[in-house]
Structure 1
Amino acid sequence: MQLTEYLDKHKDMFRGKIIEKLSKDYSISAEQVSKEFADAIENFMKNKYHPIEPVVSEIYKIDKPIILVIRRDRSREDKCKICESNEPILISLGSKYQDKIKIFEISEDNPEGRLYHIIYQDYVKQEEKLLPLIAIIYKGDIRKYWAGKTIELSVYDRYLKEFLF
């Protein structure tokens, strides 16, 4: 599925939650909320998604396979062991494919880290965030993603060979 489709789906879901909450809080219908609070809802949506949209746009400009890594910030004291275990594999991947792929890393602590929730919408069913989130994206299409796992080099090879050979 295209990254923009994930983004649109998430926006629709989030807008629905806002409308539902306001409807409940003010004891009015969802239609009334949509009319009376339209500007406030749109401003809130713009503020929430503004940091993500440039990242999505940048991803679409890259004309080679992307390994998107959303991980815990390296400078934090509470290290993510799985993020750390993926590090040497990603370094090997970069060395192996060099300029044929782009490894695109985002810290979950940055506003752009909200992209995690856009891609991994099953997160709402989880007790806690599973890091890192690693996705293989080609021309905006998310071909595969994993959350909370160490991914072996051979797994990347299997997915990347489709685009590179």
Structure 2
Amino acid sequence: MIEGGVWKLGRDIDTDLIIAGRYCNISDPAELAKYVLEDLDPNFVKTFKPGDVIVADNNFGCGSSREVAPLTLKAAGVAAVVAPTFARIFYRNCINIGLPIFEILDVAKDFEKGQRISIDPGTGKVTNITTGVTFQAAPFPAFMQKIMDAGGLVAYAGEQLGGT
């Protein structure tokens, strides 16, 4: 179960806003996390709490296909991202690293920054704890759910190959 505070973002949040290109030469995820969403909200890193959830409007993760964007969100402690639509490359990059994402039409209008959210990753049930409104996320295809359950593609491959 995922439960945390809500960070509401708008539509078309591109990968350049998630992590600016000037930081893409950094390879340490913990170091990258210090700059997550810096150009959108310079105070995000100072006020965000690990375990919080981003609720955004359409087309989250658009722009360049930099794999470092979802990695940076995960390293910063973002527990999940909920949005009506995701850019497809960003969507798959999230699956590959095990960052939970949930697609729900028109979800952004029902959340405000600071509200509380709970998500059951197994069922896709998303609840605005503050208002009591519940939503149902679109399910992952079965093979993607197995990757998410394993914590990402590398972990899944390790399981399939009999490793640790």
Scaled to the shorter chain, the TM-score interval is under 0.3
The structure richer in helix per residue is: 1
TM-score, structure 1 length as denominator? 0.21
Compare CA radii of gyration and give the structure with the larger one: 1
TM-score, structure 2 length as denominator? 0.21
Structure with greater contact order relative to length (CA < 8 Å, sep ≥ 6): 1
